[in-house]
Amino acid sequence: MKQLFYILGTFCVTLFLFSSCEDIAKPDDSLDKIVFPESMVSYNRHVQPLFNVACATSDCHDTKTKADDLDLSYYSAAINSKFGVIIPHDTSLSRLVWTIEGRPGSPRMPPQRSLNANHIRGLKQWILEGATDTIP
Asked whether residue 133 is assigned to any structural domain, the reply reads no
Would 7 be classed as within a structural domain?
A: yes
Burial 17-30 (b: 16+ CB within 10 A, else e): bbeebebeeeeeee
Confidence of residue 115 (pLDDT cuts 50, 70, 90): very high
Q: Give the pLDDT band (50/70/90) at residue 51.
A: very high
Residue 45 lies in a domain: yes
Q: Has residue 71 got a pLDDT over 60?
A: yes
In-domain check, residue 99? yes
Total domain count, the chain: 1
| Domain-located, residue 136 | no
Residue 106 maps to a domain: yes
Whether the Cβ atoms of residue 85 and residue 12 lie closer than 8 Å to each other: no
User: Does 81 fall in a domain?
Assistant: yes
For residue 1, what are the contacts with CB-CB under 8 A and spacing of at least 6?
none
Whether pTM exceeds 0.85:
no
Is the preceding omega at residue 88 within 30 degrees of 0, hence cis?
no
Containing structural domain, residue 64: 2-22+31-128
Residue 17 or residue 88, greater confidence: 88
Residue 70 is classified by DSSP as -
Q: Read off the pLDDT band of 67 (50, 70, 90).
A: confident
Confidence of residue 35 (pLDDT cuts 50, 70, 90): very high
| Amino acid making up residue 24 | I
C-alpha 57/C-alpha 94 separation (Å) is 21
Cis peptide before 110 (omega within 30 of 0): yes
Report the pLDDT averaged over residues 117-125.
Answer: 97
25 pLDDT more than 60: no
Asked, for residue 135, whether it belongs to a domain, the answer is: no
